[in-house]
Structure 1
């Protein structure tokens, strides 16, 4: 039986066929395809803040990208360009904290890495151009930023990535304080690009988007850990 990987999802207005602007639970199929190619069975998880019972039937958790985290969760006031979805935060933070408690394998992508950091006591930069002085992590609408990352020797991400240092990302926020996690990868401007929990079976967060290229190193590692 394939390991079952739950993928957190958006709830946004969507249009298909004769239906227009219908409130819809969805996720880009890149995530589903990446999990399936790695040998897993993808299950989409709509936001649900009532409990984390679904983890009983999951073998791994994939925290997908998406909107900004509500700044009150890390003790900050919203900045002008912060756009959050409190209902998604409520469901995901419940899931990730329970998953960490259960030592369930977790992979966080972009927003998912930020959720991991905040859930373990960390904080975020709300708008990177104000901190870094450039917009290379989100150069234009729908355009990925291209970077080379440096990975900490001996870390999980270094072992998975090998000599391939190229990443592509799309985000305007970033991890300022990783909480109890360890930063194991940074871009040339010093921004955290990978975090890990070495005391857990498999907890990895990456700020870039490996699902777009169906990166089997990362998704394969998640599915293997969940197997």
Structure 2
């Protein structure tokens, strides 16, 4: 990957909360193209779905059971974006809400509000918490960081039933999915926030997530030069 050949990445999220994602994509060798809109940018080799607010519960067949007020326009825009990139077989990276949206788009559902004792381990008004996760042997995370490691945490919801085709590759100590993937369809997703644990945001008490962004960008670059054959 050269400076003249940086893969363009469509970055979807809330404008005022995208700086860390944009910086991580750029530092990893990509050209971020920010904006939350339902139309995929045809010049983009991959999609990054950022964190943010809760997803409308009716989209996964539930009534409100502790969700925060949703941004329905964003939900619909990002579902359309995901489906467009997924249909084309382009790489997709989801973070926090982004991971949850990917699972919902593929037919999964969510735990809308973690029980109080467990929620206190995953979210705090004072900033990111840190906890231990365990990784699936043979998975990307296991290969990079070993069987168990520490990550940040800032969520009150969790993936429940997995969307079709996805597999969990890491779990919190309470058993909540912390990472999902679908290698054949170029999907990788994380409940934690790698953009706050990499490059200029590295921290001493967690893993360094630079490898997540570099790997995603490498896949985007490779696929844009030799697109994968996707069975539909």
1:160 aligns with 2:144: yes
Q: Find the partner of 2:99 among 88, 113, 125.
A: 113
- 8 A contact 2:40–2:85 mirrored in 1: no
> Are 1:223 and 2:227 an aligned pair?
no
- Classify the secondary structure of the residue corresponding to 1:219: helix
Q: For 2:119 and 2:77, locate their aligned partners in 1 and report how far apart those are by CA, in whole Å.
A: 33
Report the counterpart of residue 7 of structure 2 in structure 1: 3
* Aligned counterparts, 1:1-227, within 5 A: 1-10=5-14, 25-46=15-36, 48-49=37-38, 52-54=39-41, 56-129=42-115, 133-138=118-123, 140-162=124-146, 165-180=149-164, 181-200=166-185, 202-214=186-198, 215-227=209-221
Query: What is the aligned partner in structure 2 of residue 19 from structure 1?
Result: none
Tell me if structure 1 keeps the 8 A contact 2:20–2:196: yes
**C-alpha displacement at 1:169, in angstroms?**
1.1
**Partners of 1:161 and 1:217 within 8 A in 2:** no
Give the TM-score normalised by structure 1.
0.85
What is the CA-CA distance between 1:145 and the residue it aligns to? 2.0
Q: Contact conserved, 2:18 with 2:50, CA < 8 A, in 1?
A: no
Q: With a CA cutoff of 8 Å and minimum separation of 6, indicate the structure with the bigger relative contact order.
A: 1
Note the aligned Cα RMSD (angstroms).
Answer: 1.6
Unaligned runs of 5+ in 2: 199-208, 222-232
Counterpart CA distance in 2 for 1:53 and 1:105 is 13
Flag the structure with higher strand content. Answer: 1
Please state whether the residue corresponding to 2:183 is helix, strand or coil.
Answer: coil
| Cα 1:164–1:32 shift into 2, 3 Å | farther
Counterpart CA distance in 1 for 2:147 and 2:215 is 17
Across the two proteins, how many residue pairs are aligned to each other? 206
SS, match of residue 165 in structure 1: strand
- For 2:99 and 2:62, the matched residues in 1 are separated by 18
TM-score scaled by length of structure 2: 0.84
